A and B are shown apart, each in its own frame.
Chain A
Amino acid sequence: MSVEVRIPTILRTFTRGEKAVHGDGATLQEVLDDIDTRNPGLKERIVESAALRRFVNVYVNDEDVRFTGGLNAPTSDGDVVVVLPAVAGG
């Protein structure tokens, strides 16, 4: 019973090098709170002043959470959360 959270290379110092960690919660906020208890400091690199940091993108099942409720975006068992730094194309 958990949500998989995929961690970008630059944040793996907070997860002892793990590419993915698991957490529980009905919203992204709850999942991040939960994984932060076992990976202290990780949440603060993703969230600032109760919002996602400007250069961090978070996706639940490939959909950008900024369009599905932000930190209140719903999560459920088996969902995959991907955390990525913002990069350009073009």
Chain B
Amino acid sequence: MVRYASLGESVGHTPLVGLPRLSPTDSVRLWAKLEDYNPTGSIKDRAVIHMIKVAEADGTLRPGATILEPTSGNTGISLAMAAKLGGYRLICVMPENTSAERKQILAVWGAEIVASPAAGGSNEAIRIAKQLAAEHPDWVMLYQYGNPANTEAHYLTTGPEILEDLPEVTHVVAGLGTTGTLMGVGRFFAEKKPDVKIIAAEPRYGELVYGLRNLEEGFVPELYDASLVTSRFSVGSRDAVRRVRELLECEGIFAGLSSGAIVHAALAQAAKAVAAGESADIVLIIADGGWKYLSTGAYSGDLDDSEDFLDTQVWA
């Protein structure tokens, strides 16, 4: 059934495609779940549509409300679409060092943007959004980092879809940002197939993004529960760019930069399985397509230049 009553209801049910050329052997296979098939082109549509639905149902979100959210881009873009569907005003707090396309797309959808300083990355966006929320108690901050509906969206949809399409799944590799995807998928598999390994791929930014004044200003999303994760890898911009190009070259998939980090972590798991003589079916989540990152120059040209530029950016 591919007919839906409205755009919001068409979220999810994304394709799971084999990666025959990147898979190392016939018994260690990689599969990509293409989240760019969602209405605004990213996995964030799942969390956003569910967070809005829950907030409307419990009365937090009323007609004509103003929504405020700290975001590095994709959540804001999903919210902008959902705000159109629900008739809300949207204000996004976004780090100034994010790709130009993200700002352009938000503007197209009618969202207002409050820029937060480059130094400190998303931590600063969160701090400023919390400050604005305190000054405007009538605004509604869905707060993706601590909203249980974010995790629940993946528990109810992403996890079940993976198991249905690939009952033999052994690993799920996803990006770590709000931790919503990994927490929801992790909780689903902990209940339904606990031997599945849940692997986190976390982008490692350049020094500017870690420019905190002191360590106490660090941030761990309230949703994060480390017991649901098997292992966690930090992937720098160079490896992410290298892998995103490899994915395009070998499998024809044009993915966003965070997906490069995910491919990198997935290939490490695949190599580990080959070395151990085990078979594996590794699902990796392609969080979005490459369109929003063309202006970063990451898809062509010199790898050193891409790395140098991205190390000043919140690239995932």
Q: Which residues of A contact B (CB under 8 A)?
A: 8-11, 45, 53-57, 59, 62-64, 66-68, 82, 84-90
Q: Given A55, A63, A67, A82, which contacts B215 in the complex, CB threshold below 8 Å?
A: A55
Is the interface on chain B under 10, 10 to 19, 20 to 34, or 35 or more residues? Answer: 35 or more
Min CB gap A16→B, angstroms: 17
- Give the number of A-B contacts (CB < 8 Å): 104
Q: Given B175, B210, B217, which contacts A89 in the complex, CB threshold below 8 Å?
A: B175
Indicate whether B9 reaches chain A with its CB closer than 8 angstroms: no
Residues of A close to B209: CB separation below 8 A: 87
Q: In the bound complex, what is the Cα–Cα distance between A54 and B177 (angstroms)?
A: 17
Q: Mark B173-209, 1 if CB is under 8 A from A, else 0.
A: 0011110100000000000000000001011110101
Indicate whether B20 reaches chain A with its CB closer than 8 angstroms: no
Q: In the bound complex, what is the Cα–Cα distance between A87 and B144 (angstroms)?
A: 15
- B220 x A8 contact (CB < 8 A): no
Residues of B close to A55: CB separation below 8 A: 215-220
23 sample A-B contacts, Cβ–Cβ < 8 Å, listed by A number: A9-B207, A10-B211, A10-B215, A54-B220, A55-B215, A56-B215, A57-B234, A64-B233, A64-B234, A67-B231, A82-B204, A84-B210, A84-B234, A85-B215, A85-B218, A87-B122, A88-B121, A88-B122, A88-B126, A89-B175, A89-B258, A90-B71, A90-B75
Residues of B close to A89: CB separation below 8 A: 72, 122, 175-178, 202-203, 258, 316
Q: In the bound complex, what is the Cα–Cα distance between A84 and B202 (angstroms)?
A: 12
Q: In the bound complex, what is the Cα–Cα distance between A21 and B266 (angstroms)?
A: 30
Residues of A close to B175: CB separation below 8 A: 89
Indicate whether B254 reaches chain A with its CB closer than 8 angstroms: no
Min CB gap B86→A, angstroms: 21
From DSSP, what is the main secondary structure of chain A's interface residues? mixed
Min CB gap A5→B, angstroms: 14
Residues of B close to A45: CB separation below 8 A: 215
- A62 x B234 contact (CB < 8 A): yes
Min CB gap B54→A, angstroms: 18
- B221 x A88 contact (CB < 8 A): yes
A-B pairs with lowest CB-CB distance, top 3: A89-B177, A55-B218, A64-B232
Q: Which residue of A lies closest to B47 (CB)?
A: A90
Interface centre among A54, A56, A84 (most CB of B within 10 A): A84
Min CB gap A34→B, angstroms: 21
Residues of B close to A64: CB separation below 8 A: 200, 202, 231-234
Residues of A close to B207: CB separation below 8 A: 8-9
Residues of B close to A59: CB separation below 8 A: 233-234
Interface centre among B71, B75, B125, B212 (most CB of A within 10 A): B212
Q: In the bound complex, what is the Cα–Cα distance between A86 and B178 (angstroms)?
A: 12
Given contacts A10-B213, A62-B233, A67-B232, whether A88 and B204 have CB atoms under 8 Å apart is no
- B233 x A53 contact (CB < 8 A): no
Min CB gap B311→A, angstroms: 13
Residues of A close to B75: CB separation below 8 A: 90
